[in-house]
Amino acid sequence: KNQVEQSPQSLIILEGKNCTLQCNYTVSPFSNLRWYKQDTGRGPVSLTIMTFSENTKSNGRYTATLDADTKQSSLHITASQLSDSASYICVVSARSNFGNEKLTFGTGTRLTIIP
Amino acid sequence: GAGVSQSPSNKVTEKGKDVELRCDPISGHTALYWYRQSLGQGLEFLIYFQGNSAPDKSGLPSDRFSAERTGGSVSTLTIQRTQQEDSAVYLCASSWGGASHEQYFGPGTRLTVT
């Protein structure tokens, strides 16, 4: 069964500090991995999308890494800001035999930045 | 341009009633998805529309759930004879193509079944 597990479930850090969120998956055959940011009461917003051949991708202060061998990904946030407080969701896409793709969502990490 | 919109933003209904949730995707997006997000749970895929192809209904949890997409644009998710376990946030997303394309999410409809 395709699964995506994220850790920690929640994290509280001081403004200006860095943090790293983890994602482990057992999805196959792997197609791509995405990180989304979801503010409270809003829909998820895409941060990064990585394919099998990419092992790092940045979007401003967000840097995602992917190790397809160990099936692990991380999202590193640098110099956190209060606006980074949100849930961060890891999503892994599997390619089906029919050519389409199915997404498996992690339960997310709830990040709180305190001043 | 305008993003994905959903209505209503909140819906409270009594157990046993039917509800309709609406999604207006981004203009020109051929793919539309419905997801359910229960408290403390990850997003759960419900149904996927792609162009004129038959929808992928594999995520619908029961036959009380149905969805349609009229004219390749607006979609309606219908839940019949609602149960308390249907309480969740229902999210709609659209994209230019299949699941390999970036999905843009709406703000969701929070459904509460009392």
Confidence of residue B107 (pLDDT cuts 50, 70, 90): very high
Other Cβ atoms within 10 Å of A26 Cβ, number:
13
- Three-state DSSP at B25 gives coil
The answer, for A32 touching chain B at a CB cutoff of 8 Å, is yes
Q: Taking CA atoms, what residue in B is nearest to A6?
A: B42
Does A49 score more than 80 pLDDT? yes
Confidence of residue B15 (pLDDT cuts 50, 70, 90): very high
Rounded-to-10 torsion of CA B78, B82, B88, B90: 0
Does B26 score more than 90 pLDDT? yes
Does A100 score more than 70 pLDDT? no
Amino acid at A47: L
**Residue labelled with tokens 């709830």:** A110
Q: What is the mean pLDDT of residues B21-44?
A: 89
Distance in Å, alpha carbon of B85 to nearest chain A alpha carbon:
18
Q: Round to whole Å and give the CA distance between A41 and A26.
A: 29
Per-residue model confidence (pLDDT) at position B2: 79
Residues of chain B neighbouring A108 (CB-CB closer than 8 A)? 42
Cβ-contact A1, A56 below 8 angstroms = no
Confidence of residue A31 (pLDDT cuts 50, 70, 90): confident
Q: Do A46 and B41 touch (CB under 8 A)?
A: no
Q: Which residues contact A59 (CB under 8 A, 6 or more apart)?
A: A47, A48
Task: Tell which of B56, B100, B102 to mutate to test the A interface (max A CBs under 10 Å).
Answer: B100
Q: Which of A31, A46, A91 sits opposite B100 (nearest CB)?
A: A31
Per-residue model confidence (pLDDT) at position B45: 87
Per-residue model confidence (pLDDT) at position B98: 66
Q: Do A100 and B40 touch (CB under 8 A)?
A: no
How big is the A-B interface in CB pairs under 8 Å?
Answer: 50
Other Cβ atoms within 10 Å of B32 Cβ, number:
27
Per-residue model confidence (pLDDT) at position B103: 86
Q: Which of A34, A45, A107 sits opposite B41 (nearest CB)?
A: A107
The DSSP symbol for B72 reads G
Per-residue model confidence (pLDDT) at position A38: 87
Q: Round to whole Å and give the CA distance between A10 and A109.
A: 5
**Residue labelled with tokens 């890494």:** A65
pLDDT digits (tens, 9 = 90+) for B43-97: 888 998 888 888 888 889 999 999 999 887 999 999 999 999 999 999 999 988 7
Q: Which residues contact A52 (CB under 8 A, 6 or more apart)?
A: A30, A31, A32, A68
Does B1 score more than 60 pLDDT? no
pLDDT digits (tens, 9 = 90+) for A51-98: 888 999 999 999 999 999 999 999 999 999 999 999 999 999 887 665
The DSSP symbol for B56 reads B
Nearest Cα to Cα of residue A2 among A65, A100, A95, A98? A95
Confidence of residue A41 (pLDDT cuts 50, 70, 90): confident
The answer, for A97 touching chain B at a CB cutoff of 8 Å, is no
Does B33 score more than 80 pLDDT? yes
Amino acid at A97: N
More confident residue, A13 or B43: A13
